[in-house]
Structure 1
Amino acid sequence: MNNVLEYLEHSAALYPDKMAFADETTRCTYRELLEQARITGSGLAGRVQPGKPVPVLMEKSVSAVTLFMGIVYAGCFYAMLDAKQPAARLQQILKTLECDLIVSSRSYLAELGKLDFQGEAVFYEDLVQGVADETLLEGIRRQALDIDPLYGIFTSGSTGIPKGVVVSHRSVIDFMEHFTDLFGITGEDVIGNQAPFDFDVSVKDIYSTLKTGATMQIIPRRMFSFPTQLLDYLCEREVTTLIWAVSALCIITTLNGFDYKIPPKISKVLFSGEVMPIRHLNKWREIYPEALFVNLYGPTEITCNCTYYKVDRELQPGGILPIGQAFPNEKVFLLGEDNRLITEPGEKGELCVSGTCLSLGYFNNREQTAKAFVQNPLNPYYQETIYLTGDLAYYNEDRELCFASRKDFQIKHMGQRIELGEVEAGIEALQEIRRVCCIFDEAAGKITAFYEGDIEKKEIVRQLRKTLPAYMIPGAFFRVDAMPLTKNGKIDRACLKSSIEGEQNGR
């Protein structure tokens, strides 16, 4: 197997009339998805060369999935754009891609007009009205390699320029072969898609569906601001499987959504993106005592995830939720600052990954690729590329990997080296705290904690003195009704940091 289209073709042969994907207003069977993908692929194949990126500007929808598959049939790779992002950032992405064509929807004419794009704009509605050119598609397919890029996802870059992670067919196939088997995802499942299509969590939704012949229900973004609508949708669409960002799960428990309704068919809850607060995890496990809960870890650069932990024991708030063990066919290890292999429990090191899972690097950015994808310093004998995640981790006494913090969340304060994740864990252990995020205010030289919960600063400090040394106790506390979130569902640390700077400037 060397192309993800084999997943689609296999499922279409087995379940031609089964619903494959559905959004709020549209649905398609596997037969329809296959036919429309081949039609759109034929239309694109005459406009763009195989191996080239095709940016997509449209809402996440059944049409978007169909277009993705059409782009792959054309021998190209897709890069989803979010029209809600600033036009300047989208233009920077288009500049990086150096593409001559963009595919959009007619409903996005206004958004498309805001971009200074000099190439050809093609509309999905026109592409899907064409016909499939079987000879053309077969010729493209014969030239396909498993190392061909499948998609590009743009992450934030430290230089201010978005970095486009490019992932191959081979990496996705390698990951999906194990992912669905490990967690028992089958054709009987209905996957409730939460993630935006320009976020790699959606890769697990889409390709789990195609591989197993499952059904994917695309949940409208707005519903994650209205838990009652969200829970109604999960019930109506008979969703069984959630592969969600941590914050999406926390929205329901923070707002006591289960007091309103409990979707009855959920049997698998897989989460990633941030550290899952134990109090929220315990509430979900209380509601679904028979469900499988899995903590997933991994950056976009290594194809979705590299470690997993099936939650198999009770944890107390403030406790450490492991990230577990490596996925099959992936090597995950820890390196100290001196490139020493770390194996002893409790000792922290940078988490590094090697294997087929590694992406092809950053598109059109060899400099940043060379910094993150390096030769394994433990292997002087042959080429072995590893990815440096920038995350600190350690082994617990059970030899399970545990996330500590980002390397850039490790600070020097009052002469001590401090990991903000440890401070957050100490605050989260307090009964009244629902969620917490700590920011280091360099200008003021103090740690600032933002928290959700009904507790005053003086009481937080009083309780923290029992568990944390004085130099780790934040110097400022701000209670918030809800944490600001990025579009990918993570706590927006930049927004919190800017609020500190804004207060300082207002003095």
Structure 2
Amino acid sequence: MVSASPLLHEVLLAPVASTPHRPAVIEFLGDDRLRTVSYRELGALVDSFAASLTAAGLGVGDRVVLESDTSAAAIAALLACSSLGLPFVPVSPEAPDERVRAVVAATGPRLYLRAAEGFREGVRGDFGIGRFGQDGLRIVREPAAGTIRHRRELTATDTAYLIFTSGSTGRPKGVVMSHGAVTSFYRGMYTQRIVGGRDRVATTSPLQFDFSLLDIGLALGSGAAVVPVPRPLLRWPRRFLRVLRDTGATQVNGVPSIWRQVLRYEADRLAGIDTIRGVLFCGEDFPLPELRRLRAALPAARLVNCYGATESMACSFTDVPDPLPDDLERLSIGAAHPGAEMILVDAAGRPFLRTGEVGEIHLRSPALFSGYWDDPAATSAALVPDPVEPRSGQRVLRTGDLAYRGENGELYFTGRADSQVQFRGNRVELGEVERRLLECEGITAATVLVLPRPAGPELCAFVVAGPQAREGTLLDGLSARLARVLPSYMVPGELRLLTGLPTTENGKVDRAALAREAGPLPV
């Protein structure tokens, strides 16, 4: 039975009391070795971590940066933070120093926790430093003295975590999620009965990506086990499949691109893993030819198309048709999960029910984010008055996603109304990449597009440089510069030097012309 608590840790740790001996986390260690952490052991680790955090003087509202990949210890750390009312801010071990510095500067954490030994030399501040793992949580440097405590009790409206995504202004944008919002989403997700208590849920997303928190919540809130797939192994289809086989994974969640190499080179090996009963994907379109190959390899598996934004974690779960119709052109994103509603709004801000007409999705839900951290203007632009009844004072999420309604009321996503894209499961503001390019010496203009390529969509940058720039040296230097300031998924895979950017009649960059000029690369 799902906990009715509005607090994140209480929902996810409910099985500690009901099924303490069942596995909560199953870690693949390599060389035929697994480490299984039971719910009882996970609960004990959470209590141990919470005691260390309390002893360090942290209290309700103090923010904690959590640098780690997904693991039993990382899950325990975020649940310990939750139990004390400490908003956690996950960052990736792979993130460049400049990116982490921006997150630290924005949030002002009391403590920086890291799973790895040592510390990032390029990230400094008066915060405390701690290290955690299966053996416990140790404070290496005490946090600076706190201010007067105005808070004592944790409430459902308090912040559970901040997820930083790409921002159009050139700096990361922090999405603030409350305990009540997260647990409301989880309860809506549990109505879909995607997994049960005996399942093992393979999670492939980095901890800093909210999809990982969906996976953790799906598994633990259902009494199932989380199976973190080591990030480096995702690049090697045979090793990825070995993790799934050795851990007995029954449910595999991730962005569609995690399957591309598997389906190309190891489809028969995938078909031989008979434990997989479900696949949930989110974050980008699943190319239909690849989806058909996945269905052929896993004919008995339930395939679920998950749609949503970081500002609500997600909002719909739609089963992929079985069989896939031959004339299918686009997957449906269905309707919102119980307790939420998606409506379409036209360019004048009016809701409509007409079939086949494209509008912008607005989401009404108790699972909406509180706002963007320290950015009231962006918050006001996203949380807008209810278009159905603006006088009510109710706010809905203006998603920026475009869709049309099918004959049976289902929705079909068609793209974005702005420069934001979903790329390899991550939200990317193309404007942020363009601004970083313009910061590079010698670059006078830049435009970034997502273009189709044989191995999957790719970020392509078109740049204009001053007359003194040499193409080879400039482009090589650009890639190195961007890798120092942007996550790897935001560094363009293609860089093209042009003498000028084509423009439309009204003077804007002609993105369609750039796409035509780039053309498809040969297979």
1:172 has 2:168 as partner: no
Residues 45, 75 of structure 1: 8 Å contact kept: no
Residues 351, 387 of structure 2: 8 Å contact kept: no
Structure holding more helix per residue: 1
Match of 1:350 in 2: 360
From 51, 54, 58, give the equivalent of 2:61: 51
Match of 2:130 in 1: 122
The one-character-per-residue Cα deviations of 1:324-364 (angstroms, maximum 9, x if unpaired) are: 11111112111111011121111111111122010111122
Match of 2:388 in 1: 378
Residues 216, 226 of structure 2: 8 Å contact kept: yes
Compared CA separation, residues 272 and 242, structure 1 to 2 (3 A): same
The one-character-per-residue Cα deviations of 1:219-264 (angstroms, maximum 9, x if unpaired) are: 1011111000111111111100112111112332133443576321
Match of 1:27 in 2: 36
Residues 279, 317 of structure 1: 8 Å contact kept: no
For 1:30, the aligned partner's letter is: Y
For 2:259, the aligned partner's letter is: L
Compared CA separation, residues 453 and 383, structure 1 to 2 (3 A): closer
Residues 58, 83 of structure 1: 8 Å contact kept: yes
Superposed, which structure 2 residues align to 1:254-403 within 5 Å?
A: 254-259=264-269, 262-302=272-312, 304-313=313-322, 314-316=324-326, 319-403=329-413
Residues 174, 357 of structure 1: 8 Å contact kept: yes
Look up the SS of the partner of 1:499 in the other structure.
strand
Match of 2:207 in 1: 197
Provide the C-alpha distance between the structure 2 equivalents of 1:325 and 1:260, rounded to a whole number of angstroms: 31
Provide the C-alpha distance between the structure 1 equivalents of 2:455 and 2:118, rounded to a whole number of angstroms: 43
Cα RMSD, aligned residues only: 3.2
TM-score with structure 2 length normalisation?
0.76
For 1:396, the aligned partner's letter is: G
| Corresponding pairs, count | 431
Look up the SS of the partner of 1:164 in the other structure.
strand
Higher mean displacement: 400-409 or 229-238: 400-409
Residues 60, 153 of structure 2: 8 Å contact kept: no
The one-character-per-residue Cα deviations of 1:268-290 (angstroms, maximum 9, x if unpaired) are: 11111011111111111112222
Provide the C-alpha distance between the structure 2 equivalents of 1:248 and 1:141, rounded to a whole number of angstroms: 43
Superposed, which structure 2 residues align to 1:84-99 within 5 Å?
A: 84-99=94-109
**Taking CA–CA contacts closer than 8 Å with sequence separation of 6 or more, which of the two structures ends up with the larger relative contact order?**
2
Look up the SS of the partner of 2:28 in the other structure.
coil
For 2:178, the aligned partner's letter is: S
Higher mean displacement: 354-363 or 4-13: 4-13
Compared CA separation, residues 376 and 188, structure 1 to 2 (3 A): same
Compute the displacement of 1:174 (Å): 1.4
Compute the displacement of 1:446 (Å): 12
Compared CA separation, residues 214 and 502, structure 1 to 2 (3 A): farther
Provide the C-alpha distance between the structure 1 equivalents of 2:114 and 2:215, rounded to a whole number of angstroms: 22
The one-character-per-residue Cα deviations of 1:277-331 (angstroms, maximum 9, x if unpaired) are: 11111111112222211111101001x2112221124244771111111111112
From 15, 18, 21, give the equivalent of 1:14: 18
Provide the C-alpha distance between the structure 1 equivalents of 2:194 and 2:246, rounded to a whole number of angstroms: 23
Look up the SS of the partner of 2:66 in the other structure.
strand
Residues 41, 72 of structure 1: 8 Å contact kept: no
Residues 63, 88 of structure 2: 8 Å contact kept: yes
Compute the displacement of 1:18 (Å): 1.9
Provide the C-alpha distance between the structure 1 equivalents of 2:449 and 2:132, rounded to a whole number of angstroms: 49
1:213 has 2:217 as partner: no
Match of 2:7 in 1: 3
Compute the displacement of 1:195 (Å): 0.8
TM-score with structure 1 length normalisation?
0.78
Residues 227, 257 of structure 1: 8 Å contact kept: no
Superposed, which structure 2 residues align to 1:428-439 within 5 Å?
A: none
1:499 has 2:495 as partner: yes
1:79 has 2:89 as partner: yes
Which structure 2 residue ranges, 5 or more long, are not aligned? 30-34, 140-149, 423-429, 435-444, 457-482, 502-523
Provide the C-alpha distance between the structure 2 equivalents of 1:233 and 1:447, rounded to a whole number of angstroms: 34
Residues 58, 108 of structure 1: 8 Å contact kept: no
Residues 231, 261 of structure 1: 8 Å contact kept: no
Superposed, which structure 2 residues align to 1:443-454 within 5 Å?
A: 449-452=451-454
Residues 88, 160 of structure 2: 8 Å contact kept: yes
The one-character-per-residue Cα deviations of 1:195-236 (angstroms, maximum 9, x if unpaired) are: 111111111211122212111111101111100011111111
Residues 279, 316 of structure 1: 8 Å contact kept: no
For 1:500, the aligned partner's letter is: R
For 2:118, the aligned partner's letter is: L
Compute the displacement of 1:96 (Å): 0.8
Sequence identity percentage: 26
Provide the C-alpha distance between the structure 1 equivalents of 2:397 and 2:378, rounded to a whole number of angstroms: 12
